[in-house]
């Protein structure tokens, strides 16, 4: 696949209380965001394991992001802070093996921020389009 019509595959791990609710709100607000983003619901971003992020990259995701509650407002107190640490760890790991760390990101938003959810999806899709297909992905095969 050439980069001209490159449509990235992005996995978004969203917490049930904020990011997933914001995605729901974005839908009821009739906001449009790129279909490249595939949402996986988690009870809390604290449930995100380094393994899940790496596995998504290994499976061929061009971008992966974790979206949780605003810092200090996590429904489960500190899950989002733990998730941020793990995202940072994965970024470092990817850099070491020669994959752009920007492919993995952590975002924070509240359940009332439907438009922010769409904005993040746009932002991430644009970022990955600029980076091009993941070297791990099936696009290059």
Partner 1 sequence: MVFIRFDESKPPELILDDAQGLSLTVADPILGRTLNMQPDLVVLASAVIPNENKALFDLFKVPINAEGFLVEAHSKLRPVDFSSEGIFMAGLAHYPKSLDESIAQAQAAVSRAMTILSKEAIWVGGVVATVDASRCAVCLTCVRACPYGVPHIREEGHAVIEPAECHGCGVCASECPGKAITLQHFTDRQIIAKTDALFCECATA
* Residues in contact with partner 1 by the rule CB under 8 A: 9, 11, 16-18, 21, 24-25, 28, 38, 40, 42-44, 46-49, 51-52, 55-56, 59-61, 73, 75-79, 82, 86, 110-112, 138
CB of 1 to partner 1, least distance (A): 13
Q: Least separation, in Å, of the C-beta of 50 and partner 1?
A: 8
Closest to partner 1 by CB, 44 vs 118, is: 44
Nearest to 8 by CA among 126, 136, 98, 91: 126
**Residue 18 or 127 having the CB closest to partner 1:** 18
Min dist CB 4 to partner 1, Å, is 20
Nearer to partner 1, 15 or 127 (CB): 15
Residue of 49, 34, 63 lying closest to 135 (CA atoms): 63
- Minimal distance, residue 59 CB to partner 1, in Å: 4
What is d(CA 12, CA 121) in angstroms, rounded to the nearest whole number?
A: 9
**DSSP per-residue string spanning 51-114:** HHHHHHHHHT-SEEEEEEPPTT-BTTBSHHHHHHHHHHHHHHHHHHTT--GGGEEEEE--TT-H
Between residues 42 and 120, which has the closer beta carbon with respect to partner 1?
A: 42
Task: Give dist(CA 52, CA 127) in Å, integer.
Answer: 21
């Amino acid at each position: 696949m050439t980069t001209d019509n490159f449509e990235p595959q992005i996995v978004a791990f969203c917490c049930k209380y904020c990011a997933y609710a914001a995605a729901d709100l974005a839908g009821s607000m009739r906001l449009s965001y790129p279909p490249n983003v595939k949402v996986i619901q988690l009870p809390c971003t604290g449930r995100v394991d380094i393994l899940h992020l790496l596995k998504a990259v290994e499976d061929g995701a061009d971008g992966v992001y974790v979206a949780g509650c605003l810092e200090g407002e996590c429904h489960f107190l500190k899950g989002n802070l733990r998730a941020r640490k793990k995202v940072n760890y994965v970024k470092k790991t990817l850099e070491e093996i020669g994959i752009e760390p920007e492919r993995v990101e952590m975002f924070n938003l509240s359940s009332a921020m439907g438009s922010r959810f769409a904005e993040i999806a746009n932002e991430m899709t644009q970022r990955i389009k600029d980076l091009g297909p993941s070297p791990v992905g099936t696009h290059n095969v």
